[in-house]
Amino acid sequence: MADYDVIVAGGGLAGTVTAQAVAHCSNQNTKILVVDRNAKSLPGRKSLAGWVCGDACSKEAVDFMTSRIKVKWGRPEIEHDVKGVMAFSPDRETSIPFDGDGYMLNRQKLPEIQNKRCEEMGVEFDYEINLTGLIYEGHQAVGVQGIDNKNKQPFKKTARIVIDATGVTSMLRNTLKNSTKIERRIDRRDLESTGRYIMYFDSAKNDPAEFDPDYCIIHLDQDIAPGGYGWVFPKAGNKVNIGLGVEKSLLERRNQRLGKKDNVESLMREYLQRNTVIKNTRLSEDPEDIGNNTGIFQVSVRRQNDCMVSGGYVLVGDSAWMPKPIDAGGIGPALIAGTILGNNVAQALEANDVSEAGLWQYNLDFIEEYGYKTAGLELFRRLVQQMTNDQISYGMKHFLGNMDVEAISKGEHPDFSGLGKLGMIIRGAMNKTVADGLRYTSRENRWLVDHYNKYPGDPSGFDEWSKTLHRRMDGAFEKVDAFGR
């Protein structure tokens, strides 16, 4: 008999939400263990750099979790309320709102509260365990192994299902042996290197394009944050989470173009200095920000793993590459996926079928709720990354109709229907290229959403589905890259 019904590997945001969802959805005798490499006093810390995140999350995703698994978030894990995210064009002449009402979280306080709540639901924890891989019996994953840093002894525990929530660098996924369907590695270009400060400041003036206590601000700019964006997210009237993300190969290209040698750290410093509102800055020394007021980490910006289950094994959160491809928001999808997965795991345990086929429904449920749109957004992201500042500014000003803004605000791919309108004059060959690119990605997006709606109902249809997807995506990436040449 297994030591546990469920082992959640990684007690970060996705892991602890999923543990609560499993406890909520399954019967009281279900034994759940959460294992993390952090000490008990540092729950949910992503890496030595801290709980590095922009800390923003939509109310809609929190409501999704609360209504289904009855977990409520309040103060102090929510630090500040916002009315949405505002994305500014490089020339700052156009801004588009998205995501709607949301919260700024305290990522250090949140896991403390999550863990307490988990424990009240009967979930057990083991800390200071560095997991290195899964234990297998034939084709089935039956537990986890690693080193217990408390006593330097090997650690082995068995479970009917292992949920991998160990984040983007997941060792369990990288070394996975029981699936040909789950992808193990990521393309370097699908990874953003990101960093941020949490600080107090004095306001030098009022300018809602630089700091707005009610809105999370995003600055698109290929010189300031090549292949990514800069952000200014309010934590109070005089407190901010400010940072940026870049794609490394595009940073190199930008450095060559400008004759510079910048890295993420120097770009962060410059971005802070050029802000005309945020002055006299001090890194936050609030007790809940100590050890977390500056740091750099990675985030993926692609579609979720094409398959997220194998025998006895499931992926959730950053280990499954869930952050949204256009803005790297990973908290929302982690809440949605964790909530859904609680139900899938409970059903598989009850049916006593924890095989790949028994867990397959999770792939379908996540795609239906969220995952149907991510491949299209991945392609859209690749196109925007190829554009110059002038092209982005022109495109945002002239090509985004009301319907497109609405689609973006719901996290959907805009369809740029206005681009086909008679009488639309597009000035300049470079801007015609942008229009062609946008028309192309919206057409491809329709195909991709349709393809995801045909995700196979069981593992037998996966290879064909996946081959078709990769053929289409590879062709589309080539085409989109050509727009930037």
Ligand X SMILES: Cc1cc2nc3c(=O)[nH]c(=O)nc-3n(C[C@H](O)[C@H](O)[C@H](O)COP(=O)(O)OP(=O)(O)OC[C@H]3O[C@@H](n4cnc5c(N)ncnc54)[C@H](O)[C@@H]3O)c2cc1C
Residues at the contact surface with ligand X, assessed by CB under 6 A: 10-15, 36-38, 44-46, 52-57, 129-131, 165-167, 171, 194-196, 243, 297, 299, 317-318, 323, 328-332, 334
Alpha carbons 283 and 278: distance in angstroms, whole number: 12
CB of 215 to ligand X, least distance (A): 13
Alpha carbons 111 and 5: distance in angstroms, whole number: 23
Nearer to ligand X, 14 or 419 (CB): 14
Dihedral angle of Cα 374, 380, 384, 387, to the nearest 10 degrees:
150
Cis peptide leading into 76, omega within 30 of 0? yes
For 183, phi and psi rounded to 5 degrees?
Answer: -80, 140
DSSP 453-468: HT--SSGGGHHHHHHH
Nearer to ligand X, 13 or 240 (CB): 13
Nearer to ligand X, 55 or 247 (CB): 55
CB of 167 to ligand X, least distance (A): 3
Quick one: which of 318, 332, 301 has its CA closest to 191?
301
Q: Are 164 and 235 contacting, i.e. CB atoms less than 8 angstroms apart? A: no
CB of 192 to ligand X, least distance (A): 8
CB of 75 to ligand X, least distance (A): 19
Alpha carbons 238 and 102: distance in angstroms, whole number: 18
Nearer to ligand X, 53 or 65 (CB): 53
Structural tokens at position 373: 């749109």
CB of 373 to ligand X, least distance (A): 16
CB of 318 to ligand X, least distance (A): 4
CB of 102 to ligand X, least distance (A): 9
Nearer to ligand X, 291 or 484 (CB): 291
Q: Are 387 and 222 contacting, i.e. CB atoms less than 8 angstroms apart? A: yes
The residue type of 134 is L
The residue type of 330 is G
Nearer to ligand X, 103 or 399 (CB): 103
**Which is it for the CA torsion 348, 354, 360, 365, positive or negative?**
positive
Q: Which residue is nearest to ligand X (CB)?
A: 330
Nearer to ligand X, 221 or 318 (CB): 318
**Which is it for the CA torsion 292, 229, 304, 67, positive or negative?**
positive
Nearer to ligand X, 301 or 476 (CB): 301
Alpha carbons 352 and 275: distance in angstroms, whole number: 57
CB of 17 to ligand X, least distance (A): 8
CB of 43 to ligand X, least distance (A): 7
Bridge partners (DSSP) listed for residue 217: 86, 232
Nearer to ligand X, 119 or 450 (CB): 119
Quick one: which of 317, 340, 289, 331 has its CA closest to 57?
331
Cα 375 to chain centroid, rounded: 14
